[in-house]
Amino acid sequence: MENIYMPDPMEVVEVKQQTADIKLIRIKFRDPEKNANFKFNIGQFGLYSVFGVGESTFNICCSNSKDYIEFCFRKTGRVTERLWDVEPGDTIGFRGPFGNSYPMKEWEGKNLVFVAGGIAMPPIRCAILYALENRDKYGKITIVYGARTVNDLVCKDELDEWAQYPNVDVLKTVDVAPPEGTPWNGRVDFVPTVLKDSNITGDNAVALVVGPPIMIKLSLPILVEAGFKDEDIFTSLENRMKCGLGKCGRCNCGSVYVCKEGPVFTQADIKNMPNDY
């Protein structure tokens, strides 16, 4: 019988440092056949191993049209401290894809509003990349992304690339003004304020909001005021996980297992879940 806890060995293809403590890593299956056959849905996550150190959970933050997997992490714990040191050519482990996904098909024909704060850009990046690759299938795309300082912005270069697409608004903001002389073409404000000024409307639109709890808390009323229904506001939860398979018993919010029924939930789902996240 197959061993569901057994990761696949992956080759590190590329490492891109994003901020002082955030890196994005691109990996491929060492087994070419597996690499060719691997499929995932936008919004799913994986478990990434540094052998001898442990496993950690991250969203797959690239589009699913590629022959690689990308994930992004902040150096904060045992596993990420060792992941920080991996270089192209190294081997790490991967299990997945796990969990549900963003309903990209159902979103076709709608305007998309993406709201992200800090390290929460990657779980939204996959949806942005997918939507841009399929640009004609979606309406107007508004991306509101903020971080504490300019140096804390993830995927900084990509933000400007995305803004080049037709009918895409990229609204960048930072909480703290950059030092005099630093080039900065975004705003200095909190994400909810920028969101409020963005003239979005809930008509034929969905919003995907991921970020620190306080950002989500303050952004929700603005979306509601703009006419978004609870069913049209999506988020991705990040409860602590070990197995990703609905067995180890720690990621649940009440009877909802985040690793199985999540990580993607609508605001309507969340309102029915106990506050256990």
Partner 1 sequence: MSHIITLEQLKKTLADKISSGAQVVAPTLRGELAFFQKIDDVNQAVLEPRVRFQNSIKEFFFPRHETIFSFVRQGSDVQLVDAPEFDVEQIVVGARPCDAASLPILDPLFAWDYQDRFFQSRRAKSTVVVFACKTSDAHCFCTAVGGAPDSTNGADAILFALDDGSFEVRCVTDKGKALFSGKTQESDKTGAACAPPSVDFDVEKIATWIRGNFASPVWEEISYRCVGCGACAFVCPTCHCFDIVDEGSYSKGKRVKNWDSCQTVLFTLHASGHNPRATQGARQRQRMMHKFVIYPDKFNAKLCTGCGACSRSCGVSFGVRPALEELAKVANQSENN
Partner 2 sequence: METELRNAIRKLLEEKTVDVAIGYGRVGVNGAVGATFVTNPDDVDRLVWNNECRQNLATHLTRAEIKKLGKPAIVVKACDARAVVVLCNEAQIKREDVYVIGVVCDGIETADAAGNKTGALMGKCLSCVEHAAKNVDLLIGDEAAAKALDEKNAPNAKSVGHYEKLAKLRAMSQKERFEYWREQFSKCIRCHACRQNCPLCYCNRCVADKNRPTRIDTSSSLKGNFAWNILRAFHLAGRCVGCGACAAACPAGIELDLLNLTLANAAEDQFGYVSGKELGELPLIGTYSPTDKEEFIR
Q: Check residue 2 for interaction with partner 1 (CB under 8 A).
A: yes
Q: List the one residue out of 144, 142, 157 whose CA is nearest residue 117.
A: 144
Instruction: Tell which one of 6, 39, 65, 105 touches partner 1 (CB under 8 A).
Output: 6
Q: Rule CB under 8 A: which of 75-134 touch partner 1?
A: 76-77, 80, 82, 89-91, 93
Is residue 52 within the footprint of partner 1 (CB under 8 A)? yes
Report the partner that residue 55 touches, choosing among partner 2, partner 1, none (CB closer than 5 to 8 A by kind): partner 1
199 conformational bin, left if phi > 0, alpha if psi -120 to 50, beta if neither: left
* Partner from partner 2, partner 1, none binding residue 103, C-beta < 5-8 Å depending on class: none
Quote the strand ranges of the chain, DSSP E. 8-17, 22-29, 45-50, 54-59, 69-74, 91-98, 111-117, 141-147, 168-174, 187-188, 205-210, 233-236, 252-253, 256-257, 264-266
Q: Which CB, 78 or 247, lies closer to partner 2?
A: 78
User: Which of 133, 240, 268, 272 contacts partner 1 by CB under 8 A?
Assistant: 240
Sort strands 111-117 and 205-210 into parallel, antiparallel or unpaired. Answer: parallel
**Which of 160, 247, 268, 272 forms a contact with partner 1 (CB under 8 A)?**
247
Among 14, 31, 67, 81, binds partner 2 (CB under 8 A): 81
Q: Which partner, partner 2, partner 1, none, binds residue 217 by CB below 5 to 8 Å per kind?
A: none
